[in-house]
A and B are shown apart, each in its own frame.
Chain A
Amino acid sequence: MISLSGSFRFEGRWLFKDIELHLKPEGWTCLLGPSGVGKTTLLRLFAGLETHGEFQGEVELVDAHVAYMAQSDLLMPWLDVTGNVTLGERLRGKTPDLPRAQDLIARVGLADHAHKYPSELSGGMRQRAALARTLMEDCHLVCLDEPFSALDARTRAEMQELAFELLEARTVLLVTHDPAEAARLGDRIAILDERGMRLFPAARSKPLRAIDEKETLDLQVRLLASLREAVS
């Protein structure tokens, strides 16, 4: 079971208090909420990253090796796509598995761009490369921090589909502020806002949900309403 429970304090102020989040095993848990309530902090706690605050509580993981992908692609500009995809193994001092890297690069549709630098790719292509790098890490838990939010609507929809397909059978935590994204991708949807954390009643259908299906749209509307409740 992958879960987090506890409270987080930053500069003397509670960012969140006594919350609990269990991730859906081998599924997508979407953490939805407005900016500044600690969504990213929560994800960074799962990923074992620096949070510059004080966490009191517990993170339970199956394996400490966690894959991480952020809003910015964070590709190393001095490495080509292949170099970026194989970076993890090199950083661990191992010889990279090049055939596997090539296969993953092909699966994200960048086979013809394997030797291009990030500066030579579009934003969508860079996120594809980052996705291939994330897959290369082959982790049980994948933490995605708004990875699609900087993309245009069409590219975003494509990336959601590609990521959902390629991350099958992994436990995914997706942090997002977009109700539409959560409605499409979430097996489990949690909302974190000023009032704290609450689980949103699960949808009947399984993701990946079609953008134009009534249930997806309904879910999206209810999520937005729930987000707005907090403010009023």
Chain B
Amino acid sequence: MIRALWIAVSALFALGLWQLVVSLTGVPHFILPSPFKVAETLVNSRELIAGHAVITIAEVLAGLVIGSLLGVASALYLMISPTARRLLMPIMVFSQAVPVFALAPVLTLWLGYGIWSKIVMTILLIYFPVASTFLDGLMRTDPGYLDIARTMRAKPRQVLMRIRVPAALPSFGSGLKLAAVYAPIGAVIGEWVGASNGLGYLMLLANGRAKIDLMFASLFVLAAFTVALHYLVSLFAMWLTNRANGRRSSAG
């Protein structure tokens, strides 16, 4: 309760500061609109914004689900195959040196202006954090657990599924939390490069027509969605951690 109160106070403080800057500098509203103007636009253009938001949210969620599944599958495969690990890990690490948004234009070229170029962009951004954190968790199983498994003459597949995977659930949760922050960025970058709808497209369009209030209203919706997504994914990650530690309590 206290925490929620402080978040509200903090938000009011930020809005107050924003209003103060607008009032003191007398900057025109097509350069920096006041928070009231943005709120007004948010209400008046709600249908327009909502229509575009639905597209972006669909891209983000699809990218998040597909990217996470690919990340989990890769981590499991790299775990069971040392050869694949030696062959692919350097490539995966090097791929992280590539600024992924530089690939956005070529994705649009290959996949068109539809939602798939955005979903693939999102997947590219989140795949590595999910795969690498989960793989890291799988590789760092308590050696004592593996001793127990060895004296029990466990089958390798059972060791993976019954010991390594449950022990790595908290790491998987951390990867998912990172992914939830990156995923909206991926979708919006994709929309900037070439799209006919989505919040990224709407922001670019509004910016070009000096409708900065609409740009900020769209940005606000995007940020609110990102925060909500991160919150939900954090709850899921906490549930995973509790499960791995044998704690029954739900959210803490």
Contacts and interface: CB of A to CB of B under 8 A. Distances in A.
B155 A93 contact: yes
Contacts of A74: 142, 144-145, 147-148
A88 B163 CA distance: 11
Contacts of B158: 90-93
A92 B155 contact: yes
A78 B245 contact: yes
Interface stretch (A64-72, A207-215, A216-224): A64-72
Nearest to B156: A91
B247 interface: yes
B245 A91 contact: no
Nearest to B144: A74
Nearest to B159: A91
Contact of A77 (B148, B151, B152, B246): B246
B166 interface: yes
Given A48-B150, A68-B148, A91 B246 contact: no
Nearest to A68: B151
A232 B154 CA distance: 46
Contact of B246 (A49, A70, A118): A118
Interface residues of A, number: 30
A135 interface: no
B246 A92 contact: no
A47 B248 CA distance: 35
B152 A117 contact: no
A90 B162 contact: yes
Interface string B41-83: 0000000000000000000000000000000000000000000
A64 B150 CA distance: 11
Contacts of A70: 144, 147
A66 to B, nearest CB: 6
Contacts of B157: 93
A119 B151 contact: no
B153 interface: yes
Given A78-B244, A117-B247, A137 B145 contact: no
Contacts of B211: none
A91 B245 CA distance: 20
Interface band, chain B: 20 to 34
B153 A92 contact: yes
Contacts of B185: none
A48 B153 CA distance: 10
A80 interface: yes
B246 A120 contact: yes
Nearest to B244: A78
A77 B148 CA distance: 14
Given A77-B245, A119-B245, A119-B247, A92 B144 contact: no
Interface string A116-148: 011110000000000000000100000100000
B237 to A, nearest CB: 15
Nearest to B169: A78
B106 to A, nearest CB: 43
Contacts of A76: 145, 163, 166-167
Interface string A51-93: 0000000000000111110101010111110000001101111
A68 B154 contact: no
B149 interface: yes
9 contacts: A49-B151, A65-B151, A74-B142, A77-B245, A78-B169, A79-B246, A88-B152, A91-B149, A92-B153
Interface of B: 142, 144-145, 147-155, 157-159, 162-163, 166-167, 169, 243-248
8 A-B pairs with least C-beta separation: A117-B246, A91-B154, A68-B151, A88-B152, A77-B246, A74-B144, A78-B166, A91-B158
Given A49-B147, A64-B153, 20 more contacts: A47-B151, A65-B153, A66-B151, A67-B151, A74-B144, A74-B147, A77-B244, A78-B167, A87-B152, A87-B162, A88-B154, A90-B158, A91-B153, A91-B154, A91-B159, A91-B162, A92-B154, A117-B248, A119-B245, A137-B152
